[in-house]
Amino acid sequence: MIPLYSTKQIKELDDYAINKGGIPGLLLMENASINISGVIIEKLTSLKLGYKVGIICGKGNNGGDGFAVARHLSNYGCEVTIIALGKADELSPDSRMNYNILKNLYHTDITIINFSSIKDLKYLNKCDTIIDAVLGSGAKGPLKEPYMSIIKEINKLNAYKIAIDIPTGLDADKGYGDLIFKSNLTITLSGYKKGLFFNDGYAYSGEIVKKGIGVDEALLESYHTDDYLIEPEDAFVLLPHKEKDIYKYSAGKVLTIAGSVKLPGAAMLASKAVLNIGAGASVLAFPKVGNSLIAASLSEVIMDSYGGAEEYLIPEVISSLQKRIEWADVIAIGPGLGRSEATQEAVINIIRDNNSGKFVIDADAIFALKNGNYKKVKLNNSILTPHHAEFAELLGINIDELKKDLLNFGKQFAAETGGVLVLKGSPTIIFNPDGETFINSSGNPGLAKFGTGDVLTGVIAGLYAQVKNSEDAAICGVYLHSLTADLLKDKLTEYSYTAGDIINYMYESIKFLRKSFA
């Protein structure tokens, strides 16, 4: 796991280095600028970009980093144009020092434009690369003028864009912003800020590279954090171990209560995925009247049909499923069930009346738990897998409100219910009841297709039945599911692979992890 830090922790490290370590702030800025410049030069070379570089420098120390970077890039041979958003007497002390060095020593190699109006941005039109050194990670709240107009205009320019520390406009703790610099590369300093890896941070930060400021990283590692980025090795370590004397029923038994006559595909995908991730037995509970729709496609999955003429789950058929519910190590419930009132009532009854059971709750079963119904059942053994809109509806808030404080809403829900929350998105985030979050680092846009969430339900349920630990199953399942998508992207492109391909290609992700770490 890669630890992710708050802006408060990063600032404490800087303060410690200056006040306890005796390192002048100007030296920290110089160390940072050397490391930043090295990354930029490497990127310019590898991408074969031109050497016309524009830097927008704010008034604080982030702007000071920009002034210092300008010096190093100029020494390398770049033609640098700076838009300075503050006059010398408005700059922070260390920033002013670097500004004055440029004014005194770089008369011809660097052009400095003291910003007076939005028209000054025309000097960046011919730049191959634009660097955002406007606001640092400590900035909070919506952008004000002139920053708002500046970022709007810069985002329109056709250039490779780099952010120093964080993209301007992004809350580095909440991963949210109304208007954000759209960067291709973010060079973050000291430690990984958590807001770079989820929500708007994930969408606007581009590639993320961490560089130091000349302070021992062990100091930062001593800080406690509750937020982590999942690494490939984490998924490998959590893979179920297969003993020599294992048999099909000891390898994990999953009952999938999913699908309806109108929506049979979700049930097929979820129940198939259970077996492809290594569980020994997969049973699908499905309306009897619709058996002919799916039976031929489920040769390895056992069908446990219920009802008569009913085309979806209703409370009256639960008694016929009870033995299977008690038999299963894990019950996956929700994909394709439909949202009739009778189905919602049946879902609540099943979860409420089997409160010692282990559940993976998805899709229509999550819909049944809205309006406070999730408070009426025990979820401490459950894994819930909503996407953002489903989670917002579950909490009774709108999705914009959720986005503004995503981590806190997820942490509060997991703590309140005692369950594990798998919040599906780009990226997917896992929350445990202890207040920890685990952000997925695999996956690609090709996952935005019908059926991929149903496959994830089956993958997590199959792992949960084997490893018996909800958090481990969620972390391993989410990563493997997305890693398989990444391997398929290379093979089929993100346009062409389907949910069924993820099931059939799951073995390749397991082989990949074994080859990498075994």
Q: What is the pLDDT of residues 148-174, one digit of tens each?
A: 999 999 999 999 999 999 999 999 999
Return the higher-pLDDT residue of 294 and 360: 360
| Token duo for residue 517 | 């770490």
| Token duo for residue 432 | 């445990």
Helix (H, G, I), strand (E, B) or coil at 161: strand
- Nearest Cα to 423, choosing from 394, 458, 384, 462? 384
Return the higher-pLDDT residue of 218 and 384: 384
- Nearest Cα to 66, choosing from 51, 49, 48, 53? 53
**219 — pLDDT class (breaks 50, 70, 90):** confident
Burial, 26: exposed, middle or buried (Cβ in 10 Å; 0-12, 13-18, 19+)? Answer: middle
* Residues 61, 7: Cα–Cα separation, whole Å: 15
* Residues 318, 328: Cα–Cα separation, whole Å: 15
pLDDT of residue 518: 83
* Residues 252, 238: Cα–Cα separation, whole Å: 15
The position carrying tokens 């409100």 is: 401
**431 — pLDDT class (breaks 50, 70, 90):** very high
Question: What is the rounded average pLDDT of the residues 405-422?
Answer: 98
* Residues 327, 316: Cα–Cα separation, whole Å: 20
Any idea what DSSP says for residue 241? Answer: P
pLDDT tens-place string over residues 437-480: 999 999 999 999 999 999 999 999 999 999 999 999 999 999 99
Helix (H, G, I), strand (E, B) or coil at 237: helix
Any idea what DSSP says for residue 172? Answer: T
| Token duo for residue 218 | 């062990």
**Is 123 a residue whose pLDDT tops 80?**
yes
Burial, 245: exposed, middle or buried (Cβ in 10 Å; 0-12, 13-18, 19+)? Answer: exposed
Q: Pairing mode, if any, of strands 253-257 and 330-333? A: parallel
**Is 39 a residue whose pLDDT tops 80?**
yes
Q: Which residues of 42-76 are buried (b: 16+ CB within 10 A; e: fewer)?
A: ebbeeeeeebbbbbbbbbbbbbbbbbbbbbbbbee
Neighbours of 309 (CB within 10 A): 7
pTM above 0.85, yes or no: yes
DSSP H or E segment with residue 281? strand 281-287
Helix (H, G, I), strand (E, B) or coil at 444: coil
Do 411 and 492 meet the contact criterion of CB atoms below 8 Å apart?
no
**Is 107 a residue whose pLDDT tops 80?**
no
* pLDDT > 70 in the chain, percent: 100
What's the Cα-to-Cα distance from 49 to each of 6, 15, 44, 204, 364, rounded to whole Å?
A: 33, 37, 5, 21, 49
**Is 79 a residue whose pLDDT tops 80?**
yes
**Is 73 a residue whose pLDDT tops 80?**
yes
**106 — pLDDT class (breaks 50, 70, 90):** confident
Helix (H, G, I), strand (E, B) or coil at 240: coil
Do 232 and 516 meet the contact criterion of CB atoms below 8 Å apart?
yes
In DSSP terms, 79 is beta-bridged to 52
pLDDT tens-place string over residues 471-498: 999 999 999 999 999 999 999 999 999 9
List, in order, residues 6 or more apart from 117 with CB less than 8 Å away.
none
Cα distance between the two ends of the chain: 18
List, in order, residues 6 or more apart from 107 with CB less than 8 Å away.
none
**42 — pLDDT class (breaks 50, 70, 90):** very high
**Is 122 a residue whose pLDDT tops 80?**
yes
Q: Pairing mode, if any, of strands 2-4 and 129-133? A: unpaired
| Token duo for residue 298 | 């489920």
| Token duo for residue 82 | 């700076």
pLDDT of residue 293: 85
Question: What is the rounded average pLDDT of the residues 277-288?
Answer: 96
Do 239 and 449 meet the contact criterion of CB atoms below 8 Å apart?
no
* pLDDT > 90 in the chain, percent: 89
- Nearest Cα to 53, choosing from 115, 118, 124? 124
Q: Looking at this protein, which amino acid is placed at residue 408?
A: N
Instruction: Name which of 17-26, 33-42, 52-61 the model is least confident about.
Output: 17-26
The position carrying tokens 């619709």 is: 290
Question: What is the rounded average pLDDT of the residues 99-125?
Answer: 92
Do 460 and 422 meet the contact criterion of CB atoms below 8 Å apart?
yes
Average pLDDT, the chain: 95
Do 383 and 470 meet the contact criterion of CB atoms below 8 Å apart?
yes
Question: What is the rounded average pLDDT of the residues 261-283?
Answer: 96
The position carrying tokens 């031929």 is: 296
pLDDT tens-place string over residues 361-404: 999 999 999 999 999 999 999 999 999 999 999 999 999 999 99
Domains in the chain, ordered, with CATH? Answer: 2-225 (3.40.50.10260), 232-238+250-517 (3.40.1190.20)
